[in-house]
């Protein structure tokens, strides 16, 4: 609200002395900090970095700073990061950690908008970005069925994870749909990690009638399973087909390259950040719960079972 000349003169002077407005003072006045707090369990899994890149990209695009807190899935760290967030007053929070939706309201309600990523608790009031884990797991399993497999095993994720439960459910769906009886001996509990895949593969192949195909709860598990299968003298996919889930970077350069379900991780990140910033900007969200599509990536770790040829 000032004449063009004055405006220009001021802007020129500001540029000359390299004036940068003090965001702290602005924040105190406007009650907004132009920053987002992101809580995630860890960066050890190769799954998260690409999501972070998406978050970073969208935040940068709109001039927001991103604060990061690694909870390591520990209760203590989770709540101390929530406290830190409460003090730092970010304009919003993004949670990639199973149980934090509860924590947000634990020590007094957390008033900033929050978006839940991937682990959607039912009836959560917060916007969320997820994929349809159940349907995607059914797609993976169906792929094995269509190749002609009947003895299809599943290495599950961690007990506590609802994502793991959904993928298990999708596996059961596809089996039922194909009229294949689910065999409890073919469902073993992994941990979403390498090591789980290694141990579970041993266990499965020790069965009286071992599986001809394994649907692994994620790619790391699948890579671990392949490692062990090779050690045991089986070849993949000739003896055993393996399909993973996630499509992490190394799955494409694995030997053999891994057939898997791709999650659009970068898009998950950008969608979550966009949803949050739109909420902050006061936009009415047309669709507060976003479900992103996945894709079956066919590579070389799956093939028809030997029995078909003999």
Partner DNA sequence: CTGAAAGCGCTTACAG
> In whole angstroms, how close is the CB of 280 to DNA at the nearest point?
14
> Is position 67 an interface residue for a copy of itself (rule: CB under 8 A)?
yes
Q: Per CB under 7 A, does 179 bind DNA? A: no
**Angle ∠(154,149,301) on CA atoms, nearest 5:** 70
Residue 125, strand partner residues: none
Q: List the single partner that 47 binds among a copy of itself, DNA, none, CB under 5 to 8 Å by kind.
A: none
Report the partner that residue 208 touches, choosing among DNA, a copy of itself, none (CB closer than 5 to 8 A by kind): none
Report which secondary-structure segment, H or E, holds 39.
Answer: strand 35-40
Contact 41, 71 (CB under 8 A): yes
| Helices vs. strands in the chain: H and E counts, helices first | 10, 12
8 Å CB contact between 299 and 257? yes
> Of the candidates 4, 6, 63, 181, which one interacts with a copy of itself according to CB under 8 A?
63
Classify 183 as helix, strand or coil: coil
Is residue 111 a contact point for DNA (CB under 7 A)? no
* Given 18, 21, 179, 184, the residue binding DNA (CB under 7 A): 21
Q: Which helix (H) or strand (E) holds 93?
A: strand 92-95
Site for a copy of itself in 239-258 (CB under 8 A): 249-250, 253, 255
208 touching DNA, by CB under 7 A? no
Write the binding mask 133 to 152 for DNA: x where contact by CB under 7 A, - elsewhere.
--------------------
Q: How far apart are CA 77 and CA 89, in angstroms?
A: 18
Q: Considering the rule CB under 8 A, would residue 65 count as an interface residue with a copy of itself?
A: yes
- If residue 105 lies in a helix (H) or strand (E), which one and from where to where? none
> Which CB, 36 or 188, lies closer to a copy of itself?
36
The CB-of-114 to DNA minimum distance in angstroms stands at 21
Total of chain residues touching a copy of itself, rule CB under 8 A: 50
Segment lying near a copy of itself (by CB under 8 A), choices 82-90, 124-132, 163-171, 201-209: 82-90
Determine which residue in the list 28, 106, 298, 307 makes contact with DNA, applying CB under 7 A: 28
Question: Judged by CB under 7 A, which of 30, 88, 238, 300 binds DNA?
Answer: 30
Core vs surface per residue 272-294: b (16+ CB within 10 A) or e? bbbbbbbbbeeeeeeeeebeeeb
Binding of a copy of itself by 27 (CB under 8 A): yes
Q: Tell me which residue of 288, 294, 271, 275 sits closest to 132, measured CA to CA.
A: 294
CA 309/CA 239 separation, integer angstroms: 12
**Residue with smaller CB distance to a copy of itself, 183 or 239:** 239
CB of residue 14 vs a copy of itself: minimum separation in angstroms? Answer: 12
**Which sign, positive or negative, has the C-alpha torsion 237, 134, 187, 152?**
negative
Q: At its nearest, how many Å lie between a copy of itself and the CB of residue 223?
A: 8
Question: Which phi-psi region, left, alpha or beta, contains residue 201 (left: φ > 0; alpha: ψ -120 to 50)?
Answer: alpha
Q: Judged by CB, which is closer to DNA: 25, or 181? A: 25
Q: Which residues bind DNA (CB under 7 A)?
A: 1-3, 6, 19, 21-22, 24-26, 28-31
């Amino acid at each position: 609200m000032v004449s063009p000349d004055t405006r220009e003169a001021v802007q020129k002077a500001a540029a000359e002395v390299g004036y940068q407005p003090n965001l702290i003072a602005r924040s105190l006045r406007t009650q907004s900090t132009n920053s987002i707090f992101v809580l995630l369990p860890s960066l050890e899994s190769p799954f998260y970095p690409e999501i972070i890149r998406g978050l970073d990209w969208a935040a940068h695009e709109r001039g927001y700073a991103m604060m990061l807190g690694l909870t390591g899935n520990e209760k203590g760290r989770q709540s101390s990061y929530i406290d830190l967030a409460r003090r730092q007053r970010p304009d919003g929070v993004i949670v990639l950690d199973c149980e934090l939706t509860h924590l947000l309201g634990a020590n007094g309600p957390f008033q900033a908008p929050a978006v839940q990523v991937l682990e959607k608790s039912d009836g959560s009031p917060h916007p969320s970005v997820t994929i349809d884990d159940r349907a995607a797991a059914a797609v993976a399993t169906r792929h094995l069925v269509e190749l002609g497999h009947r003895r299809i095993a599943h290495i599950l994720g961690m007990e506590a994870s609802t994502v793991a439960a959904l993928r298990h459910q999708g596996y059961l769906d596809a089996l039922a749909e194909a009229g294949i009886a689910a065999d409890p001996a073919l469902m073993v509990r992994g941990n979403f990690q390498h090591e789980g895949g290694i141990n579970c593969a041993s266990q499965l192949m020790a069965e009286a009638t071992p599986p001809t195909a394994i649907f692994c709860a994620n790619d790391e598990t699948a890579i671990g399973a392949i490692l062990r299968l090779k050690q045991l003298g089986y070849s993949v996919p000739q003896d055993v087909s393996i399909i993973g889930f996630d499509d992490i970077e190394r799955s494409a350069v694995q030997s053999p390259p891994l057939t898997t379900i791709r999650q659009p991780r970068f898009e998950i990140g950008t969608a979550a950040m966009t949803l949050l910033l739109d909420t902050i900007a006061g936009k009415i969200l047309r669709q507060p719960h976003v479900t992103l599509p996945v894709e079956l990536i066919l590579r070389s770790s799956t093939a028809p079972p030997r029995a078909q040829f003999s």
